[in-house]
Amino acid sequence: MNSTLKKELPIIGIVLMPFAYLAFIWNTLPEKVPTHWNYKGEVDHWGDKFSLIGLLFMLPVLMYVLLLVAPKIDPKKRIALMGGKFYQLKFFLVLCMSLLALYIIFITKNQSFSSPNFIYIIIGILFLVLGNYFKVIQPNYFIGIRTPWTLENQEVWKLTHAFAGKLWVIGGLVIMLGGLIFENHFFSIIFISMVVILAIVPMAYSYVKFKELEKRM
């Protein structure tokens, strides 16, 4: 067996888990299933059960394909410099997407949001994992805080990701704890605020650092 394929088999297995679960419960699903819930956890949209197959391709499959292709089409070949760290990152990201897909299929089958905050916990883990890997991500066009200023200057990239890594780890922990402690309809507002902060603050930080370095030159 090809060594590369052998290495990818555990991740491929993770990608296939939601498909196996969906196939197992397929005959027990009604023709119309809930496909969207509002912030209170109430179903506000229904669709054909075949739409669940598309959901699986949009979550673990798409994530895996993007991370599989990214190192090959990276023009500066910087992702490859991460070595085993990139494989670990790919493993965790695909695992989170598969768990999210499994949970959505589960609540769709039961036509209720039995524990809606579980999604917040998974997203919190995503931020936590990414934050831990930010310090080893090399400048590239696919992963990380990709602003005109980080892509222009390698030092800005390094400083921004050191800062953003700490911020995302803290933010991920806050989201995870909030998902465990607070009710869904209350925490949804906090969650949206946290995501905006985690997205905007590192971008603003990269601009500030770029201007600081520009003045020194």
Q: 77-128, pLDDT tens digit by residue?
A: 889 888 889 999 999 999 999 998 998 888 888 765 555 678 888 999 999 9
Residues 142 and 95 in one domain: no
- pLDDT given at position 181: 86
- Are 97 and 67 spatial neighbours (Cβ–Cβ below 8 Å)? no
CB contact set of 128 (below 8 Å; sequence gap of 6+):
168, 169, 172, 173, 176
- Considering its fold, how many domains does the chain have in total? 2
Q: Are residues 125 and 102 in the same domain?
A: no
Q: Answer yes or no: do 3 and 81 share one domain.
A: yes
Clarify whether residues 101 and 124 are in a common domain.
no
Q: Is residue 129 domain-shared with residue 153, that is, in the same domain?
A: yes
Q: Are residues 6 and 26 in the same domain?
A: yes
Q: Which of 126, 152, 128, 129 is nearest to 141 (CA)?
A: 152
* 66 and 34 housed in the same domain: yes
3-state SS assignment for residue 43: strand
104 and 182 fall within a common domain:
no
Joined tokens for residue 19: 């498909």
Check the CA dihedral 183-184-190-194 and report its sign. positive
Range of the domain at 119: 115-217
pLDDT at 195 over 70: yes
Q: Say yes or no to pLDDT of 184 above 80.
A: no
- Say whether both 42 and 133 belong to one domain: no
State whether 94 and 130 are in the same domain. Answer: no
